[in-house]
Structure formats: structure tokens, C-alpha cells
Amino acid sequence: MTNKKDVVRKRKKLQSMARKSYIFKRGDKRASTPRICVVCGRPLTSLILREGTYITTCSHIRFYISDVFTLDCCLDIHSCYRTLRQKGELNEHVNG
Ligand SMILES: [Zn+2]
């Protein structure tokens, strides 16, 4: 289980670790790999079978942690909340 405060904290941590970040908007075809939000687990890209390429299905931020390591996360924090809620992993009764 997680809560909204945790989600905010994780996203801030990503931002603080990243050397740079880049936003991929929905429909962007430059995303060439399967991507998943590290905070909520939502798939961010999907394969277009007939083209063999990936398309961004959920706007997200790509954090460049190092030259060889990147992490992706939903652009909209509400996307993370919604996904976690659907999975039953969001505890909304924690205050603070
Ligand atoms: Zn997310």
C-alpha cells in the first residue's frame, strides 16, 4: 500500500536524482521502447504492431539519472493516483 504523500515524495526524489528530464506527450513516436511509470506501474507506451514502433499512450517525464540509466513517470500526478487506486494500492485515508 502507498498513499498520496508517498507518491509526491517518490516523484520529488526522481526529480532530485535526475541530471535532466524530458517530457514525452501522448502520441509521441520518439519513444522507441516499452516504458512503465516507476511510481504507479502504468504502461506509458504501446507497440504499434504493423509499424513495429512504439507510441506514447500516456504523457510522461523521462528522467535521465545517468548516461545509461533513465526512469519514466506519468506527467500528471493524478494519473499515478488513478492507477494506484484502480490496483487497490492507494490508501486515501492517510492524512498529512
Ligand atoms: Zn504513474
Distance 88 CA to ligand 1 centre (A): 14
pLDDT score, position 31: 85
pLDDT score, position 93: 77
* Model pTM score: 0.91
| Cβ neighbourhood burial of 46 (10 Å; 0-12, 13-18, 19+) | middle
Neighbours of ion ligand 1 (CB under 5 A): 37, 39-40, 42, 74, 80
pLDDT score, position 92: 84
pLDDT score, position 37: 98
Please give the C-alpha separations between residue 3 and each of 24, 42, 92, 95, in angstroms, as whole numbers. Answer: 26, 16, 6, 9
Mean pLDDT by 10 residues, the chain (96 residues): 95 96 95 94 96 95 94 98 96 71
Please give the C-alpha separations between residue 1 and each of 24, 43, 76, in angstroms, as whole numbers. Answer: 28, 19, 20
In degrees rounded to 5, what are phi and psi of residue 17?
-80, -25
Which position has the grid cell 519514466? 72
Distance 67 CA to ligand 1 centre (A): 23
